[in-house]
């Protein structure tokens, strides 16, 4: 293909493609992510991938190029969504913000150990609730689950902590 050998023509062709399909890509990413700034991040990532594979495309615009741009935008948005869901697990270090009785470093260590023994989702729900002061609805939004599941995770996590700390 000629456009692979001539950088100026390739650049013009890519700009034509970008201008033709940026709006479509942004709309698709926004539908998946539900957030304008996240959609822009996903479309930026898709633009990089589009440029990397640009020499494989038949024409700057056309049905195949349009479909390729749309699929890239959708995949990048889904990847970003998955990444954000994975990152929603609150690390154990956040638990240090929970207050153990003042002047009781061993109590804080016991609390951290008890938190560490909780399943990930329970620990995250408890930390978001107690340490961050989030409501069950906010915890549910953060974890991507129903409010009733968030309430159960918080309740069961607190009960498990009480039981575990009674032994200590």
Tokens, residue 8: 């100026």
Model pTM greater than 0.85? no
Asked: is 92-167 a CATH 1.10.10.10 domain? The reply is yes
Tokens, residue 149: 């599941």
Tokens, residue 121: 């989702």
Instruction: Describe the chain by its helix, strand, coil percentages, rounded to 5.
Output: 80, 0, 20
- The percent of residues above 90 in pLDDT, for the chain, comes to 28
pLDDT tens digits, one per residue of 50-104: 888 888 888 888 888 899 999 999 999 998 888 876 655 555 445 555 544 555 5
pLDDT tens digits, one per residue of 32-44: 888 888 899 999 9
Q: Tokens 């935008």 — which residue? A: 73
**For residue 103, what is the DSSP state?**
T
**For residue 11, what is the DSSP state?**
H
Q: Compute CA distances 19 → 13, 22, 49, whole Å.
A: 10, 6, 16
Tokens, residue 68: 């390729």
For CA atoms 123, 128, 129, 135, give the dihedral sign. negative
Residue 104 has φ and ψ, to the nearest 5°, of -125, 75
């Amino acid at each position: 293909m000629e456009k692979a050998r001539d950088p100026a023509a390739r650049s013009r062709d890519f700009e034509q493609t970008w201008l033709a399909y940026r709006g479509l890509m942004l709309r698709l990413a926004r539908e998946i992510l539900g957030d304008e700034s996240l959609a822009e991040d996903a479309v930026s990532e898709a633009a990089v991938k589009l440029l990397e594979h640009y020499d494989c495309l038949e024409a700057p615009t056309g049905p195949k190029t349009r479909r390729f741009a749309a699929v890239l935008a959708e995949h990048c948005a889904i990847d970003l969504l998955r990444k954000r869901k994975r990152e929603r697990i609150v690390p154990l270090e956040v638990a240090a913000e929970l207050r153990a009785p003042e002047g009781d470093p061993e109590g804080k260590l016991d609390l951290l150990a008890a938190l560490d023994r909780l399943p990930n989702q329970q620990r995250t729900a408890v930390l978001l609730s107690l340490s961050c002061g989030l409501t069950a609805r906010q915890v549910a939004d953060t974890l991507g689950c129903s409010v009733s599941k968030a309430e159960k995770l918080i309740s069961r996590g607190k009960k498990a902590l009480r039981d575990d700390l009674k032994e200590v």
